[in-house]
Amino acid sequence: MTTFSDLGLSQKVLSAIADAGYTTPTPIQAGAIPPALEKRDICGIAQTGTGKTASFVLPMLTLLEKGRARARMPRTLILEPTRELAAQVAENFEKYGKNHKLNVALLIGGVSFEDQDRKLERGADVLICTPGRLLDHCERGKLLMTGVEILVIDEADRMLDMGFIPDIERIAKMIPFTRQTLFFSATMPPEIQKLADRFLQNPVRVEVAKPSSTAKTVAQRIVAAHNKDYEKRAVLRDLVRAEEAELKNAIIFCNRKKDVADLFRSLDRHGFSVGALHGDMDQRSRTTMLQNFKDGNLKLLVASDVAARGLDIPDVSHVFNFDIPIHSEDYVHRIGRTGRAGRSGKAFTIVTKSDTKYLDAIEKLIGEKIEWLNGDLSTLPAPMESFESNSGRRGKERGGRGRDRNRRDAAPVENINQGAQSAADADIAAHGDDKVKAERKQEKAPRNSDRNSRNPLHANDDNRDRRRHYRDHDDGPTPVGFGDDIPAFMLIVANAKA
């Protein structure tokens, strides 16, 4: 059996690995580290959770033991698609490089340029960044890339999805052609292969898993639901409750940031221990939310795909896809959050009738059929009718009697899909009440505005803003007719003629 000491790593690195409790390299580490130490280009294809990060961190630490960085001239560059991934790579350098005296600089959004400039002035042996922030520093004249010896492009397929490839091409032109390039991707579609051919010179290809395969330790199930979000929310709540005995923590994926916020509010309202993570959050909030989830303070984390790649949360027991991913490759990355390092995990995906084409693409990609839980789409009961969609104008105008009638007419429930309907009633009621209150508030607003405009001394700040808005559109004072009052300038002209 191969051990880390067989790979050619330095004694300092081996000591740090032993302190971390590792003895045997993973397949990607055993395949990538030796040629990386020989300064060969690497094309690594590996799923998340396979130890991919250490496969470039460990040889880089060994190679960087000789030499020092100069101010504003980094020796190595690591490009990551997201802030979280960049921060986790920095943590790996801190863990395995504790016996080294290397300067590691992290350039990500949400941190002031001044703090990052100070780190660059000290010289960076390792520069870890997202492409956008790196280009910002370069355009400000704070970085010279001519001293970069090693370039790492991590999560290349995600870089492609996020539109970073033009930025990476710009960055690559700033770096010496003689650099060593380590290129890693979870999948290798044709577009990524073309990218690898462009950046790599005679690379060593290290492929440790069938491209686009899912881990065998993850039990996958798909769950039928109707299209309405309130019914999907009810299905999800029943799934979480049904798995409560085995559920240690779970990541719930949505396709859109708006859906993340909506689902978070719904789960929180129903008493679940839940947090949310999406791309619009500032860096401090994202870091705090992730830490609370890692520490077990939150049981559920609702996230967009910004959290799908490389998050270092080693013991996630469940993944729920509230929305089936539009890109089938994202399915592999999402469920790769569970079942890591040989642990067992479960992944549930909620599927509606409009999702079947995405399901077909996923099953084609992973090369297997996913089993339905409690029956497929043909076994669904009649869809629930919500207050918003069925009470109609009459129900709203007469105090919402249509909503009560819909509730009384609801069908009995038996399985997870049917049970979801009754569970959805509370969600509908909560959303419906909010909607009625909002509508009433909007109806009252014009009357309040008129009253405040007649009594400006008692108007609040909102009304002052409203009056300012009206003033901006004012066309001036009301015109007054001459009547019998002839202006002086006209009298002068008349006298002159006389």
pLDDT in tens, 20-72: 999 899 999 999 999 999 999 999 998 777 889 999 999 999 999 988 888 88
Report the mean per-residue pLDDT for the chain: 80
Does 494 have pLDDT greater than 50?
no
- Residue 43's pLDDT is 96
Window from 74-78, 125-129, 272-276, 280-284 with minimum mean pLDDT: 280-284
- Residue 485's pLDDT is 56
> Of the spans 366-375, 407-416, 429-438, 439-448, which averages the highest pLDDT?
366-375
Alpha helix (H) residue ranges in 64-212: 83-96, 113-121, 131-139, 156-161, 165-174, 190-199
Residue 286 pLDDT class (50, 70, 90 cuts):
confident
d(CA 481, CA 173): 74
d(CA 104, CA 363): 42
Residue 470 pLDDT class (50, 70, 90 cuts):
very low
- What is the arithmetic mean of pLDDT over 178-194? 90
Does 473 have pLDDT greater than 50?
no
pLDDT tens string 302-322: 998 765 555 667 789 999 999
DSSP assignment, residue 415?
S
pLDDT tens string 423-459: 555 555 555 445 444 444 444 444 444 444 444 434 4
- Residue that wins the pLDDT comparison between 447 and 245: 245
Residue ranges of the chain that CATH labels 3.40.50.300: 4-207, 218-428
Q: Is 218-428 a domain of CATH 3.40.50.300?
A: yes
In the block, residue with structure tokens 């029943």: 238
Does 211 have pLDDT greater than 80?
no
- Residue 209's pLDDT is 63
Q: What are the Cα distances from residue 257, in Å, to 252, 304, 318?
A: 12, 6, 21
pTM score, two decimals?
0.60
Give the tokens for residue 362.
Answer: 């996923």
In the block, residue with structure tokens 């340029």: 113
Does 394 have pLDDT greater than 50?
no
d(CA 461, CA 252): 40
CATH code that applies to domain 4-207: 3.40.50.300
Residue 402 pLDDT class (50, 70, 90 cuts):
very low
- Residue 360's pLDDT is 95
- Residue 170's pLDDT is 94
- What is the arithmetic mean of pLDDT over 223-244? 95
